Structure 1
Amino acid sequence: MAKSDDNETLQNIDLPAGWTFMALLVGLAFGWFLSGSEAAGPVRAVAGPVGTIWLRALQMTIIPLVAALLVAGIGRMVATARAGKMARRTLLTIAAVLAAGSLLSALVMPVLLDAFPIPGTAQAALMAGDAQPQTVPGIGAFFESLVAPNIIAAAASTAMLPLIVFFVALAVAITRLPDDQRNLMLNLFEALGNTMLVIIGWVLWLAPVGVFALAIGVGLRSGGGAFAALGHYILVVASLGLMVMIAAYGVAFFAARRSPAKFARAVLPSQAVALSTQSSLASLPAMLGSCRALGIRETTADFVLPLAVAIFRATSPAMNLAVAIYVAKLTGIELTPANIAAGAAVALVTTVGSVSLPGAISFVTSIGPIALAMGVPVEPLALLVAVEMLPDIMRTVGNVTMDVAVTAWVDRKPDEN
């Protein structure tokens, strides 16, 4: 779990990532042990409702939390853009990197899954509850669905695309209000977001119980296949984060005009801190040192790096979209180019609201909307969040590496060759 990105509201909430992971393993093993025995039926009768209740509690926070985070996040970005030329240049650079990450995942993840297929037992292994695919509209209906005539009805049916369109438009409209009204509305949505974060913090505090109950059902259905399925998932999704990290070296060379060898030496201490702490914020002093080693102007590093830590998760669009595509493949859903494009757009937009959150919470708030927008069941996410602590290591190292590369890019003068 990324300690880096702790929201102030959650500083006193200890999210039990290690216990959740252990609950997953023990639950799978216990279900596997009981599969085929007479005790399987009674155990399933108890564990099933417990897991379902926890899963629904997790799902009920997604829409209000995403709405609040989107409005507040876009409001902050607009305020940052008004801070000056360097702020606007930084935001444009960040947007370009995030968009490239979404495109990378959309193109590469399906190819990866064709080259390294999901194990045959994985479908039974990773399905939690009675997961049902969402209805995916045709291309014409898809564009019509972007605008909902009744936003309340859209929320009731978890129609994520029109909800995101509405709340992005609402956020932009709020930034055009007079200062007192704008601050009032942004404070309202920030308060709503913080309230939802408290609730989801409670739900995730109970994650060991909920995940244990869901894992028992998975073990009863699939036996030991779940372990291979989860290992495959971790490796494939983490590979997208590795690609983003490698791309950071390309950004440093082609965009920032820094020697790859020099960049690698300079960024290594920051990567070591990121690996050991799983925290971008804790890596900030080391990143400042990396920037000094690269000869980046102190004024640039002092402005760009704290801003990048606050609003930038380079690996998020690529890895979040990768999870949704993985679940689609897992559940046998054929994704059209329109579906993948919708997922990529939502992955890009929800990144704005998911920064400064612990990894487990950002996993739910970011990937849930992507899956819903693509017509992919969200139920498997309840089990995958239990192993997020492992891909999150790659997320943090990739984010830190790209933060330094982007800072070097912003520092490059426009007239440099």
Structure 2
Amino acid sequence: MKRPATSSAAWVIAALALGLTLGVLGHGAAWGERAQAIMAPIGQLWVNALRMTVIPLIVPLLVVAIAGSGDLKQTGALSLRMLLLFMGLLAAFTLASFAVSPALMSAVRLDPAATSALMAQAAQPPPAAPVTPSEWLVSLVPANAFKAAADGALLPLLVFTVAFALATTNAPPATRSKVVEAFRAVAEVMIILVRWVVALAPIGVLALSFALGVSLGAAGAGAVGYFLAVSIGLYLLGTLLLYPLAVFGGRVGWRRFAVAMLPVQAVGLSSRSSLASLPALIKAGRDDLRLRPEVADLVLPVAVSTFKLQHAIATILGVAFVARLYGLELTPLAIAASAGAGILIGATTPGVPSAGLMLQAPLYSAFGLPLEGLALLIAIDSIPDMFKTLFNVTADMVVAVLLSPQGTAEAGDVTVN
């Protein structure tokens, strides 16, 4: 089952490398401009294919995630503590990312004329006029939910979808079941369509990376390399920062926690899937860390399905990088809003490679960021995605340990070793 995903990632990386190389060689050359005129429509077709799938996928996934969570309501205090931990960790890492990511991306130095030319080629409407905080707050409640969907206004659409899903949870059981099953069916069909679009990624990525290389030259390739290095570094740092939480909050020894996590992290790095890591997580939690069974059986499956801590870093970092790449300036309010929406979207991400990034297409449109930039992030995602999964599965186990501290401490186990 892993070969197709691995093969697809290899093709995308190869297409990215080839496109950037040819684009850099054609930078400033007449043949490069002629080739770019041919490649641009191809890249735009793939970007449009991404856009057409996102709204019909986000809405049913979010409804199913909220309205279909009836089992969680029956677990009482444990579920509440779990959700509070999810929100607390997401808030803490989002604030940290908000503090450092824009500053790190400001180190990317590109020729303003080149970024303007790249922006001019993007099939993206100009950014909306700045609004006051009160105007922005009012705009979150859509007067017409269907118009918000048609306009790609993600934040108002998310507000309506969450309200609709919460209303569904209060409907009679028979009605709620019908609504959830209908939206689940739509989501399953849309996931099939998304997989088709993902299969065409090498062609779209080749065209988009070629345009980037022609417009920015070697500086564009350097910017991509810098983004990769910063991304991997932040995910590794975030993973390390989780260890003290398990040690001091869950009263488990350093060595014991690290050894228990090694096989889980190995599966996460190789599969790029939190869901694929679930069997290893449950085994490590039950056998090595001695979590209470009710914690291991509830928290770990829910965490791998809905708790994507990497979005606290990835959304802000990606938005800041694309804005820098295209010479755009985003307000702190816009960056904060993108972080909140990215986290909410992350809780509904399906098991499709780079789906978390694909679902952010309306978010980028809402802030006037070219979707071509998002497509480039998707192209290079297979590399940092390994470290995103490492970060996610470590966070999943940390939450379980914090919810079962008395189950993780053996007699004679030293907390710090």
Scaled by the length of structure 2, the TM-score of the pair is 0.87
Q: Aligned letter for 2:173?
A: D
Q: For the residues of structure 1 that align with 2:363 and 2:36, how far apart are their CA atoms?
A: 30
3-state SS of 2:16 partner: helix
Matched pairs, number: 404
Q: For the residues of structure 1 that align with 2:41 and 2:366, how far apart are their CA atoms?
A: 27
Alpha-carbon spacing, 1:371–1:179, altered in 2? closer, same or farther (3 Å) = same
Alpha-carbon spacing, 1:126–1:285, altered in 2? closer, same or farther (3 Å) = farther
1:294, CA displacement in angstroms?
2.5
Tell me what 1:380 maps to.
373
Which ranges in structure 1 are unaligned for 5 or more consecutive residues? 4-10
Alpha-carbon spacing, 1:77–1:337, altered in 2? closer, same or farther (3 Å) = farther
1:12, CA displacement in angstroms?
9.2
Which ranges in structure 2 are unaligned for 5 or more consecutive residues? 410-414
Tell me what 2:21 maps to.
29
Residue by residue over 1:324-372, the C-alpha shift from the partner in whole angstroms, topping out at 9 and shown as x without a partner, is 1222333343333322331222122112211x4223222111x334434
Q: For the residues of structure 2 that align with 1:196 and 1:224, how far apart are their CA atoms?
A: 38
Q: 2:331 aligns with which of 320, 330, 336?
A: 336
Residue by residue over 1:146-205, the C-alpha shift from the partner in whole angstroms, topping out at 9 and shown as x without a partner, is 112122222222221111111111111111111111111111211222222222221111
Q: 2:390 aligns with which of 390, 393, 397?
A: 397
**Which deviates the most, 118-127 or 137-146?**
118-127
Tell me what 1:109 maps to.
101
Q: Aligned letter for 2:51?
A: Q
Residue by residue over 1:196-239, the C-alpha shift from the partner in whole angstroms, topping out at 9 and shown as x without a partner, is 22222211111111111222222222222232111111122233
Alpha-carbon spacing, 1:44–1:336, altered in 2? closer, same or farther (3 Å) = closer
1:129, CA displacement in angstroms?
2.7
Q: For the residues of structure 2 that align with 1:402 and 1:318, how far apart are their CA atoms?
A: 13
Q: For the residues of structure 2 that align with 1:316 and 1:205, how far apart are their CA atoms?
A: 24
Which residues of 2 match residues 194-209 of structure 1 at below 5 A? 194-209=188-203
Matched, 1:61 2:53: yes
1:134, CA displacement in angstroms?
2.5
Alpha-carbon spacing, 1:297–1:284, altered in 2? closer, same or farther (3 Å) = same
Matched, 1:48 2:33: no
Q: For the residues of structure 2 that align with 1:228 and 1:41, how far apart are their CA atoms?
A: 21
State whether residues 23 and 211 of structure 1, in contact with CA within 8 Å, keep that contact through their aligned partners in structure 2: yes
State whether residues 305 and 403 of structure 1, in contact with CA within 8 Å, keep that contact through their aligned partners in structure 2: yes
1:120, CA displacement in angstroms?
2.0
Alpha-carbon spacing, 1:306–1:14, altered in 2? closer, same or farther (3 Å) = same
State whether residues 133 and 377 of structure 1, in contact with CA within 8 Å, keep that contact through their aligned partners in structure 2: no
3-state SS of 2:378 partner: helix
3-state SS of 1:120 partner: coil
Alpha-carbon spacing, 1:12–1:118, altered in 2? closer, same or farther (3 Å) = closer
How well do the aligned residues superpose, as a CA RMSD in angstroms? Answer: 2.8
Residue by residue over 1:299-342, the C-alpha shift from the partner in whole angstroms, topping out at 9 and shown as x without a partner, is 42233222222222221232123211222333343333322331
State whether residues 51 and 362 of structure 2, in contact with CA within 8 Å, keep that contact through their aligned partners in structure 1: no
Q: For the residues of structure 1 that align with 2:25 and 2:378, how far apart are their CA atoms?
A: 23
**Which deviates the most, 213-222 or 142-151?**
213-222
State whether residues 315 and 338 of structure 2, in contact with CA within 8 Å, keep that contact through their aligned partners in structure 1: no
Tell me what 1:134 maps to.
127
Q: For the residues of structure 2 that align with 1:13 and 1:266, how far apart are their CA atoms?
A: 27
Scaled by the length of structure 1, the TM-score of the pair is 0.87
Alpha-carbon spacing, 1:151–1:279, altered in 2? closer, same or farther (3 Å) = closer
State whether residues 73 and 79 of structure 2, in contact with CA within 8 Å, keep that contact through their aligned partners in structure 1: yes
Alpha-carbon spacing, 1:123–1:259, altered in 2? closer, same or farther (3 Å) = farther
Tell me what 2:412 maps to.
none
Residue by residue over 1:374-408, the C-alpha shift from the partner in whole angstroms, topping out at 9 and shown as x without a partner, is 44333301112110001101111111111111110
